[in-house]
Amino acid sequence: MFTELGCRCHLNKPGDEQTLQKMIPDKVPNKDVFHGSDDLKNEAHIPSFEKYKELYINSIENPDEFWGGVARDFFWKTKHTGPFLDYNFDVTKGEIFIKCMEGASTNICYNLLDRNVHEKKLADKIAFYWEGNEPGDELTVTYRELLQRVCQFANVLKSQGVRKGDRVSIYMPMVVELVVAMLACVRIGAVHSIVFAGFSAESLCERIVDSQCSLLITADGFYRGDKLINLKLLADEALQKCRDKGFPIERCIMLKHLSKEPEETVGSSSPPAKRSCPDLQVPWNPQVDLCWHTLIQGASDECEPEWCDSEDPLFILYTSGSTGKPKGVLHTVSGYMLYTAATFKLVFDYQPDDIYWCTADIGWITGHSYITYGPLANGASSVLFEGLPTYPDVSRMWEIVDKYGVTKFYTAPTAIRLLMKFGSEPVQKYKRESLKVLGTVGEPINPEAWQWYYNVVGEKRCPVVDTFWQTETGGHVLTPLPAATPMKPGSATFPFFGVVPAILNESGEELEGPSEGYLVFKQPWPGVMRTVYGNHQRFETTYFKKFPGYYVTGDGCRRDKDGYYWITGRIDDMLNVSGHLLSTAEVESALVEHKFVAEAAVVGRPHPVKGESLYCFVTLTDGVVYNNKLEAELKKQVREKIGAIATPDYIQNAPGLPKTRSGKIMRRVLRKIACNDKDMGDITTLADSSVVDHLFQNRCCTAV
Ligand code: PRX
């Protein structure tokens, strides 16, 4: 991949070259920046900033040539005809669409597994080192074994009537079978919809119904640290809710992870978990439930892949929406495959002897793109971790780094800040000599956490790639390249190949030079989402309506005098808690469903570890008295409706909310109250300012 990439720019439109040249500076500063090591530069795919700039311009001017170079490494059943990307990004000119490699057909599972096993001679290479929640709970899976297991399970899915285009919901812990289940769907052209195993039954039900899934795959249970999660119980609750909504699911396949009998380990990809759980109550409905282990017995480990068109749906993944209803982000086959493969290779500077570890959960986009698709497309060996960074102690991450000799390590700022609190000693107990590149994702990283990551974890040897992207973008869009980009702590630096960012002011005008405003993208790249499942209009309204001609990220951004991009955070009604997006409306609607809550307003309050915490204001129905019992009920209500990640940190009884004369809640004012910031700015539009004084006097000072 990429060996063919030269830089032959064929500029068609006068002025293009100038604009592009300006987009990436010729020179980057030497002062106050951090550079990758010389060792890294010697082996890197993109060894210098000049090379990055040259290739970047080529990727924009000659997308067919640039992406054609990436595509050449993959198997295509039929070749594409026409331009590499065909699109309309402007709502005023008609429907938004993005098509990549139209006419081509392929199968991603074939490219991730068969191609690596048969063509690339990687059959015996380890695809995953699985590390369980309990230290010592471990296993390895080679590419050959993964292929066999995926084929076997693909045959199971077929025998259950799953066909190309059908949606399959997956609700599983971080076990190898999760990857097996997702790739089995891909092999037969079914569309997976993975729901993070920390989501509630209600959230799972909502997602199953929205994408009209015909089958659910789950597990009996798992441990998150010390805590036992009875997943099957939640799955059953979700299925009951689906029935109540008139959407019955007839089949649920359950993997025995904790309750496995010894004979069930034969032919299975995992031994029984060390911390087995004989008492686990696994409800079983013979009308609906099927046992994973029984089904795979006798299923053939060969399965012809289903050849899919480039723009066939690949998966749906739900992300929070500002209306409160999650959006089913739809990604399609060819563009997503090429984009995750290319970003993985270049952003982590992947080399064949790397041991890569991304600590995200596959239930989020980071796990989709950078545990499953990107690494497997490159034939990489990865660590797949079921546990927590703090269990059984706060050295766990570094112990795992040494155990497997991890070279490329990718985590979230919230995990870094959490571990930082315990100082450097737990880190320095382990050598971490293997580490070469460190990465972060999910939220802005504060310079202090960046420095700690760089100095203590990486011992000033490893560049930190601060990758900015979204569920919607499919892969990294603003990011340093480890050997090429001088880094500034807290900046996601420059665009990846094929990505053209801009900063707009409120009137939609593009700002040049140092500036701050809305971060938008001017043209599609192969990995961008194609639609909101079942609601194309919502796709257009959410991302393309505010500023016609641009994809609007919803993030604020600053460009400094050196051309570096700095994400300043969400500028819509979205909160980022521990790297996970939540909409304020979603939490508010969970709160008002309680019979004693008349109105609720939720805002973010900065949090030293989680980035943001949830500060909720609730107005109770007449005559109800606020007390600890009610507070506990409200917390429980939100956990049950959404999941533990949305648990309120603060709940304040608010007899009145600050509103404009037209009745609109002034969230700006509530944010100030949550932070105890008396500098209110202009509040002349407030209908009743005494409300604000009351709320200030009765602020919550400690988290609930
Ligand atoms: O606000 C940005 C923040 O996370 C949002 C996307 O969230 P989600 O779709 O859940 O995907 C997270 C993993 C890709 C963005 O709109 N975000 C993500 N990465 C960064 C970031 N903010 C600042 N810097 C980042 N590196």
- Checking if the pLDDT of 2 tops 90, the result is no
Give the percent of the chain with pLDDT over 70.
95
CA distance 35 to 464: 9
**What is the Å distance from ligand 1's center to 467 Cα?**
8
CA distance 270 to 100: 38
User: Please, which pLDDT band fits residue 412 given cuts at 50, 70 and 90?
Assistant: very high
Give the other-Cβ count within 10 Å of 397's Cβ. 25
pLDDT of res. 323 = 81
Overall average pLDDT of the 201-221 stretch: 97
User: Please, which pLDDT band fits residue 82 given cuts at 50, 70 and 90?
Assistant: confident
Atom of ligand 1 nearest to the CA of 445: 24
**What is the Å distance from ligand 1's center to 346 Cα?**
19
Atom of ligand 1 nearest to the CA of 364: 10
pLDDT of res. 213 = 98
Across the chain, what does the average pLDDT equal? 92
* Residue range 529-565, pLDDT digits in tens: 999 999 999 999 999 999 999 999 999 999 999 999 9
Overall average pLDDT of the 596-617 stretch: 93
Same fold, 108-313 and 578-697: no
Q: Which fold has domain 108-313?
A: Rossmann fold (3.40.50)
- Checking if the pLDDT of 611 tops 70, the result is yes
* Best probe residue, ligand 1, of 194, 327, 441 (max atoms within 8 Å of C-beta): 441
What are 42's two structure tokens? 């010697």
Which residue has a Cα nearest atom 6 of ligand 1? Answer: 470
**Which residues fall within 8 angstroms of residue 34, CB to CB, at 6 or more apart?**
454, 463, 464, 486, 487, 488, 489
User: What CA–CA distances, in Å, run from 232 to 118, 168, 201, 337, 525?
Assistant: 37, 16, 10, 32, 39
Q: Which fold has domain 578-697?
A: GMP Synthetase; Chain A, domain 3 (3.30.300)
440, amino acid identity: T
Exposure string over 288-303, b if 16+ CB within 10 A, otherwise e: bbeebbebbeebebeb
pLDDT of res. 384 = 98
* Residue range 443-457, pLDDT digits in tens: 999 999 999 999 999
Which residue has a Cα nearest atom 8 of ligand 1? Answer: 470
* Best probe residue, ligand 1, of 373, 581, 582 (max atoms within 8 Å of C-beta): 581
* Residue range 108-122, pLDDT digits in tens: 999 999 999 999 999
pLDDT of res. 277 = 66
* Residue range 571-605, pLDDT digits in tens: 888 889 998 889 898 899 899 999 999 889 999 99
User: Please, which pLDDT band fits residue 4 given cuts at 50, 70 and 90?
Assistant: very low
Q: Residue length, the chain?
A: 704
What are 204's two structure tokens? 């799972």
Ligand 1 within 6 A of CB of 382: no
pLDDT of res. 5 = 35
Which residue has a Cα nearest atom 3 of ligand 1? Answer: 443
Exposure string over 115-137, b if 16+ CB within 10 A, otherwise e: bbbeeeebeebbbbbbbbbebeb
- Checking if the pLDDT of 265 tops 80, the result is no
Atom of ligand 1 nearest to the CA of 569: 1
CA distance 520 to 495: 12
Overall average pLDDT of the 131-142 stretch: 96
Overall average pLDDT of the 463-490 stretch: 97
- Per mean pLDDT, which range of 90-104, 211-225, 314-328 is the poorest? 314-328
Ligand 1 within 6 A of CB of 317: no
CA distance 296 to 418: 41
- Checking if the pLDDT of 1 tops 60, the result is no
Ligand 1 within 6 A of CB of 306: no
Which residue has a Cα nearest atom 5 of ligand 1? Answer: 470
**What is the Å distance from ligand 1's center to 519 Cα?**
12
What are 478's two structure tokens? 């603003």
Which residue has a Cα nearest atom 25 of ligand 1? Answer: 468
Q: What is the DSSP string of 35-70?
A: ---HHHHHH-SS-SHHHHHHHHHHHHH-HHHHHHHH
**Which residues fall within 8 angstroms of residue 89, CB to CB, at 6 or more apart?**
96, 98, 522, 523, 524, 544, 549, 550, 551
pLDDT of res. 7 = 29
Tokens 């199971």 belong to which residue? 156
- Checking if the pLDDT of 268 tops 80, the result is no
Give the other-Cβ count within 10 Å of 284's Cβ. 12
Cis peptide leading into 283, omega within 30 of 0? no
User: What CA–CA distances, in Å, run from 215 to 140, 163, 173, 372, 485?
Assistant: 28, 11, 17, 21, 45
CA distance 374 to 378: 7
* Residue range 309-355, pLDDT digits in tens: 999 999 999 998 878 889 999 999 999 999 999 999 999 999 999 99
451, amino acid identity: Q
Tell me which DSSP letter residue 198 carries.
T
Ligand 1 within 6 A of CB of 570: yes
* Best probe residue, ligand 1, of 331, 555, 572 (max atoms within 8 Å of C-beta): 555
Ligand 1 within 6 A of CB of 152: no
pLDDT of res. 664 = 78
**Which residues fall within 8 angstroms of residue 627, CB to CB, at 6 or more apart?**
none
Overall average pLDDT of the 197-207 stretch: 96
Overall average pLDDT of the 407-414 stretch: 96
Ligand 1 within 6 A of CB of 467: yes
The domain spans of the chain are 108-313, 578-697
Which is nearest to 667 in space by CA: 596, 577, 546, 574? 574
**What is the Å distance from ligand 1's center to 336 Cα?**
18
CA distance 517 to 503: 6
CA distance 610 to 446: 12
- Per mean pLDDT, which range of 68-82, 232-246, 248-262 is the poorest? 248-262
Sign of CA pseudo-dihedral 25, 27, 33, 36: positive
More confident residue, 572 or 508: 508
**Which residues fall within 8 angstroms of residue 237, CB to CB, at 6 or more apart?**
201
Ligand 1 within 6 A of CB of 412: no
What are 578's two structure tokens? 């521990």
Overall average pLDDT of the 467-488 stretch: 97
Q: Do 331 and 519 touch, CB atoms closer than 8 A?
A: no
Which is nearest to 432 in space by CA: 457, 451, 395? 457
CA distance 384 to 336: 21
Which is nearest to 147 in space by CA: 180, 173, 98? 180
pTM of the complete model: 0.92
Ligand 1 within 6 A of CB of 360: no
CA distance 339 to 499: 11
Overall average pLDDT of the 206-233 stretch: 96
Ligand 1 within 6 A of CB of 319: yes
Ligand 1 within 6 A of CB of 242: no
